[in-house]
Each structure stands twice: as C-alpha cells, then as structure tokens.
Amino acid sequence: MILLELFWTFLKIGIFTFGGGYAMIALIQNELVVKREWLTTQEFTDILAVSQMTPGPVGINTATYAGYTAVMNQGGPAWEAIFGSLIASFAVILLPVLLMIVVFNYLSHHRDNPAIEAMFRVMRLAVVGLIAAAALVLLNGASFGTFGLNTQFVVSCLLFATVFYFSYRHKTNPILLIVASGVMGLIVYSL
C-alpha cells in the first residue's frame, strides 16, 4: 500500500530532519531515490529546482512534489497521487509539531544542560556532512550529462562553477541563479 508507505517514510524524514530544508534533502534522497527507488535522481533534482523557486518552506514543497511523483511513478491514478502528496506533507510535519508542543510545555528549561547542548553541537556538525553528501550524490550523469568533452558536460560544469561562485561568494539570490541557469540552458541547448 503505497500511501501507507509514503506516510511512514515521511514520518521518519520529518523527525530526523535537523537543521532545515537542506538537511531534509539528504534524507529524502536516501529514502526515496536510493532505498525505495520511487524517484530517479534526475526527477529528484528537478523537484529540488521547482521546490526552491516556488513560495513556501522548501521541506513542505519537496515533500508535496515527491509524494505526488512517487505515486505517479508507481502507476497510481492522479487522485491517489494528489492524496499521496498531502499525506507526505502531513507526515513530514506531524511528529515535529507534537515534539514542539512537548518541548514548549516541559523541556524548555533543560536547554542549558551541558549534555543536551553537546548533543546539538555534534548534530550540527553531522548535518554539515549530511548536506555535503546530498550534493555529492547529485554530482553524476543525471545532473551533468555523460562525462567527457561534450557540450552538455562542459556547459553543466561551467554552470555549476558559476552558480557555486555567486552563491558562495556573493550570496546571490538562489531564485535569480536558478532562473538564469534555466534561461542559459534553453539558449545554449537550442543553438
């Protein structure tokens, strides 16, 4: 039953996402692309592009889109896919929301505990690795084309380097970078 599996998968993704939407990318990738093969790497990258360009939290957007595509890829009907996207978004926020309430009521005064503090510090370090892994997994033929001296690979590398430079050095708005890359792709590959 794919809807149930979606619910369980996104329940896990939600509760283990520490450090925002980017950390969630690594989890969704591992669960949906690597383990369950509900999405191809290429579809996953496309979902990320769309999720970052549309309004709202990236985590919600990615869950909605991934839930829909996963059901469609399994050959499910459209209504089931729409339902799947809603289930994914609901599941991803369910446990964190409940946890927030618990913490709000009982635990906020334990935050200065040195063990809890150390736990969050080490988790923040691991999350940096998580996000790096998400980027590393995507460095492949699905995103860059076949390795070698062909147009797509060279153009992809140039786009990667340019976007990386502007994002890292100048903190350029990601939406601008995504739109510009899309326009570049349309122009270069139409020549």
Partner 1 sequence: MYWQLFASFWKIGTFTIGGGYVMIPLMEKEVVERRKWLSQEEFLDQLALSQAMPGVFAVNMATAIGYRQGGWFGIVCAVAGNILMPIALILLLAIFFRHFRDNVIVERIFMGLRPAVVALIAAPVFNMAKRAQVSWRNVWIPVGSALLIWLLGVSPIWVILAAAAGGLLYGFLKGRKEGSR
Min dist CB 81 to partner 1, Å, is 8
- Name the residue nearer to partner 1 (CB basis): 4 or 104: 104
Count, residues in the chain: 191
- Name the residue nearer to partner 1 (CB basis): 115 or 149: 115
- Name the residue nearer to partner 1 (CB basis): 1 or 115: 115
Min dist CB 130 to partner 1, Å, is 5
- Name the residue nearer to partner 1 (CB basis): 1 or 72: 72
Cβ atoms of residues 156 and 169 within 8 Å: no
Buried b (16+ CB within 10 A) or exposed e, 112-126: eeeeeeeeeeeeeee
How far CA 35 is from CA of 28, 59, 102, in Å, comes to 10, 19, 32
Min dist CB 4 to partner 1, Å, is 19
Min dist CB 139 to partner 1, Å, is 6
Q: Among 2, 30, 1, 6, which Cα is nearest to 94's?
A: 6
